[in-house]
């Protein structure tokens, strides 16, 4: 997540227009390549993480989620197509939805995980039953 947050902040930052600064051409508040200036980081993740598997690898937002804007991560290089990105906040507060997404990515048509498999404890965390 640190890499994604860093990329998000960099893409939103203002970059002075200068002939030697290519960043000023495609980054910043009026960027067409990264059209999320009105979003905070949480809104950005909520909007783009669910549709990330539908984006093409040529889409720069796909790249932000899958391997970072500037270099491939160690995990992505080692795991390749086995790498599954999940929203940790969603997993904490809605584990059945997150587990269903993981299950569909691995098994396509399997429907083992259901909402009634998860019970919220007194401490606010969920247990699998």
Could you state, in order of their start, the residue ranges of all structural domains in the chain? 1-78, 86-129
pLDDT digit of tens for each residue in the chain (129 aa)?
667 888 778 777 765 555 555 555 566 667 777 778 788 888 888 888 888 888 887 888 887 877 655 445 555 566 666 667 777 888 888 888 888 888 887 877 777 888 888 888 898 888 888
- pTM tops 0.85, yes or no: no
Helix residue ranges, H only, 2-94: 2-12, 23-26, 41-48, 60-66, 74-79, 88-93
Distance CA 69, CA 60 (A): 7
């Amino acid at each position: 997540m640190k890499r994604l947050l860093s990329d998000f902040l960099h893409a939103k930052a203002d970059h002075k227009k200068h002939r030697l600064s290519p960043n000023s051409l495609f980054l910043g508040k009026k960027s067409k390549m990264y059209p999320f200036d009105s979003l905070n980081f949480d809104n950005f993740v909520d909007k783009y993480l669910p549709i990330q598997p539908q984006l093409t690898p040529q889409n720069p937002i796909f790249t932000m989620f899958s391997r970072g804007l500037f270099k491939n991560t160690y995990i992505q290089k080692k795991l390749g197509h086995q790498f599954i990105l999940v929203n940790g906040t969603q997993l904490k507060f809605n584990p059945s939805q997150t587990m269903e997404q993981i299950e569909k990515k691995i098994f396509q048509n399997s429907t083992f995980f259901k909402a009634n498999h998860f019970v919220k404890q007194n401490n606010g965390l969920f247990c699998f039953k």
